Structure 1
Amino acid sequence: MSNGKISINVHHVTRIEGHGNIVLNANNGKIEKLEWQVPEAPRFFEAMVRGRNYEDIQTIVSRICGICSITHSLASTKAVENAMGIRVSEQADKVRILMHYSEQLQSHVLHVGYLAVPDFFGAPSVVPLVGVAPGPVKTIIGLHRLANEWSDLIAGRTTHPVTLKPGGLTKFPTEKELRNLQERLKKALPDLKAVAEVVLSVAGNIPKFNRPTEYVSLKQTNPPTYTFYHGEITSTDYDGTVAINDWKTVANEYVSDQSTAKWTKWHRKSYAVGALARFNNNAQHLSPTAKAVAKMFGLEKGNCNPYMNTVAQLVECVHVVETSIEMIDELLTKGIKPETVKTGPKAGKASGCVEAPRGILFHEYEFDRKGHCVGADICIPTNQNHASIQEDFEALVPQILDEPEDKIRLKLEMLVRSYDPCVSCSTHMLDVKFVR
């Protein structure tokens, strides 16, 4: 243990989406204050949608996040459909999943390539890596471009989808467009494996840390699959599943005095969501190549090292690409058929749930008989991870207090970044102060 005084104040952690502070005060090996602080401002989306028509909801709430806009649109659309008893065709369902997969790749590549991996190389950002490893950086940029153009094709544009509507989609890709996308996805698989090899070469710099953690995600049993879109809620601490409309019995939101965002807990003081949570609950259903990539890193079910969430994201990139290739085959075999969807307003209340790149996402809405929203409740993944980050801090810091301050700070920053938090939709500079 260090016999000196340590005072670390990381004001706005960099390479995450939004505001987050790290505070550590220790004296003679005794921790006096250790906090993950969330000073984000309220954004009032739940109030904003009140009085709006049910057909407008997905367009408004997509603006909650520029990275996860498709996910918010899908969750809200599913909630509307559940509230009003609207059915969706098998074709529309598959195309929506393709749309969702585009965002999983888009977001994961951004986090793995630009935000997290620079830490493994000892670089302050991705920019210095351009000179050190230009090939892998170009590959990452190419994969990010593919994800953006995939979203353009299915969602109508790169962010904030315009093709989603209650009951289906306003536009379907043509069979020619799907074939072209499929060819690009086939070419992307070797690129993803090459990126995995590069990350593996510096994986020794991933901190070794484990904390017994509850992991919460969706689980689909009919048919069993590594799900991002369908299913019910499950946990590594729970053998069964919970219906989506009962999500509040899982999240159990509460207020923390160190955060302007609500925190959550289920069977323990905290739980974690995201790629590692999905992996721990569903790894047996990964695609073959994704399983091989997980094996490369020694990533197995039951892993409780939060730093490995980045590796789990890389595994998921491979899975969504490989699975999408097969899904396009299924769509082409049946042929793309035009659809006309007619819906009407109806009173009702229900929830919708999908897996955002950062974890399980809940949207709940209530509508009057004219189809106007009279109530809304949204629980985003990062809110569900805040308490877990705090508990990780409390378990990690006693193990590293005898290390130099800069290494302590870096490990804490890396820990936050490993969760890929989307605290708000802005970026900030880093101001770190040490006081002895």
Structure 2
Amino acid sequence: MSNVKIDVHHVTRVEGHGDIVVDVQNGEIKKCRFEVVEAPRFFEAFVRGRPYSELSHITSRICGICSVGHATTSLQATEKALGVELTEQATLLRKLNFHGEIIDSHVLHTYYLVAPDFLGLDSVIPLVDANPDVLMRALRIKKLSGDLCAMIGGRHIHPCALTVGGITHTPTGQELRDMQARLMDARADMDETVALFSTLPWPEFERETEYVSLRKDDEYAFIGGTVVTSDGFSYPIEDYRKVTNEWCEPFSTAKWARHNREAYMVGALARFNNNHDQLHPRAKEAAAKLGLKPVCHNPFLNSAAQVVEMVHCVEDSIRIIDELLTRGVKPEQPPQVEVKAGEGTGSCDVPRGILFHNYVYDENGMCTSANCVIPTNQNMANLNADMREFVPQILDKPQDEIRHLLEMLVRAYDPCISCSAHCLTVEFV
């Protein structure tokens, strides 16, 4: 197909709107890009002049799917700025809450957004008739993960129990035992999930790029650690600007980022590539069944990496609950905070990739400056680079197939703008 014009208005997802624009004339690509056209949201301005105790509750509203991740990263930054330490119990409970969100977000993306592409469906709704067992499995996992988040954070989204220095609500031993039993029962659903996604015909496309994630020596890193890249670089979290190097493009209201190359990728695939050795053995088995090996350069397999992480988080949640029960859970009061001037940077690897929050506080504990670097922003340059390389490979296909593959490429990145969960509407003009 020597002449193609594709104009997607809009890729309407949770954080707004984005357009896919492709213009091919006589086989030559004149334009090929993903444009974010949503108005800026100004969260960094919202928190200026607000007390330290409010920031995690405000910034959790950046994303309804990653609210635990934003709250945890925000608290980490504030605790560093004010010199606040967590107890071991609070650390374990935060990890458990975080695992719940990883499962919650990944099941939403893999089952509700990705699976219909391969099952010949426009959305997840027709699964009610086409394959009710698959739909019920997705709903069971979603219910489990939501309940896990609520048990720790006080509610499914926008956790109200996470606070500077700890957690205001402690689950009882019986609540933890009941949740652990449900997680053990979920192993069957995890096995079926791996079996389903191992049969999907993933598009064959590779483009070598740099992968950026957190890493720890003793665990598969989600909360804190060191920033590492597949190109061999390593930085303390405080040096995040050396990694992100943000800039603006005139056609996008989302910032872009680059490090050692023109672009880098964050998210489940980046974590898998950098931290495969830290996965639970059952998660490694899942990766093998899915045909996923590090270093994988196929962005479509980001969804397969999410399935692997779901298995890991179920298993690690069972382990964490064992540790909590062995230690004996008890109510804890968060420590008294000594209000002082300071600066802190927090980082978590949330479902869609590495996230940074940086805050500066004055002597009264009021925020004077904030910077949040969102995973989707960091993926913008890489998604566009993938589009530029992918489009020439599919120009000989029918228009419907081109449309479908471009939709799938956008979905593979699981961008934060994806949460409205309806099919992309593509117009050929």
TM-score by length of 2: 0.97
Report the secondary structure of 1:233's partner residue: strand
1:432 corresponds in structure 2 to 426
CA distance in 1, matches of 2:117, 2:409: 11
My pick for the range that moved more, 273-282 or 15-24, is: 15-24
For the aligned residues, what is the CA RMSD? Answer: 1.4
Q: Is the 8 A contact 2:77 2:346 kept in 1?
A: yes
Cα–Cα, structure 1 residues 208 and 429, in superposed 2: closer, same or farther, change >3 Å? closer
Q: Distance in 1 between matches of 2:357 and 2:420?
A: 22
Q: 2:322 aligns with which of 315, 318, 329?
A: 329
For 1:244, which of 237, 245, 251 is the aligned residue?
Answer: 237
Residue 220 of structure 1: aligned partner: 216
User: Quick one: which of 360, 366, 373 aligns to 1:372?
Assistant: 366
1:16–1:417 contact (8 Å) kept in structure 2: no
Give the Cα–Cα distance (whole angstroms) in 2 for the partners of residues 412 and 428 of structure 1: 15
Q: Is the 8 A contact 2:264 2:381 kept in 1?
A: yes
> Which amino acid letter does the alignment assign opposite residue 172 of structure 1?
T
The alpha-carbon deviation at position 405 of structure 1 amounts to 1.2
Runs of 4+ in 1 over 6 A off after TM superposition: none
CA distance in 1, matches of 2:234, 2:100: 27
Confirm or deny: 8 A CA contact 1:82 1:351 kept in the other structure: yes
Corresponding residue for 1:104? 102
1:349/1:367 contact within 8 Å kept = yes
Residue ranges of structure 1 left out of the alignment (5+ in a row): none
The DSSP-based 3-state class of the residue aligned with 2:210 is coil
**Inter-partner Cα distance in structure 2 for 1:327 and 1:87:** 20
Per the alignment, residue 208 of structure 1 pairs with: 204
1:140 is aligned to 2:138: yes
Contact 1:16 1:420 in 2 (8 A): no
Change (3 A) 1:428 1:110: closer
Q: Distance in 1 between matches of 2:330 and 2:359?
A: 31
CA–CA distance in structure 2, aligned partners of residues 280 and 94 of structure 1: 25
Alignment partner, residue 253 of structure 1? 246
In structure 2, what is the Cα distance between the partners aligned to 1:189 and 1:346?
47
* Partner residue, 1:274: 267
Q: Distance in 1 between matches of 2:93 and 2:247?
A: 36
Q: Give 1:152's aligned residue.
A: 150
* CA distance 1:92–1:248, shift in 2 (3 Å): same
| Mapped partners of 2:137, 2:420: distance in 1 | 26
Is 1:301 matched up with 2:299? Answer: no
Aligned residues: 428
Q: Tell me if structure 2 keeps the 8 A contact 1:105–1:317.
A: yes
Give 5+ residue unaligned stretches, structure 2: none
Is the alpha carbon distance of 1:259 and 1:192 closer, same or farther for their aligned partners in structure 2, counting shifts above 3 Å?
same
Post-superposition shift, 1:328?
A: 0.6
**Matched-pair contact (CA < 8 Å) for 1:65–1:425:** no
SS at match of 2:216: strand
Aligned residue type for 2:196: V
What is the one-letter code of the residue matched to 2:214? L
Aligned-partner Cα distance in 2 for 1:430–1:184: 35
Q: State whether residues 363 and 377 of structure 1, in contact with CA within 8 Å, keep that contact through their aligned partners in structure 2.
A: yes
Any idea what the Cα deviations from partners look like across 1:87-116, whole Å, max 9, x if unmatched?
A: 111110010000111100110000001011
Cα-to-partner distance string for 1:23-62 (whole Å, 9 max, x where unaligned): 1111221112111111011111111111111011101111
After TM superposition, the score normalised by the length of structure 1 is 0.96
CA distance in 2, matches of 1:241, 1:6: 42
In structure 1, what is the Cα distance between the partners aligned to 2:165 and 2:173? 21
Where 1:56 maps in the other structure, the secondary structure is helix
Q: What is the aligned partner in structure 1 of residue 375 from structure 2?
A: 381
Match of 1:412 in 2: 406
Shift of 1:320: 0.3
Task: Compute the displacement of 1:130 (Å).
Answer: 2.0
CA shift at 1:195, angstroms? 1.6
State the 1:16 CA deviation.
Answer: 6.7
- Give the corresponding residue for 2:229: 235
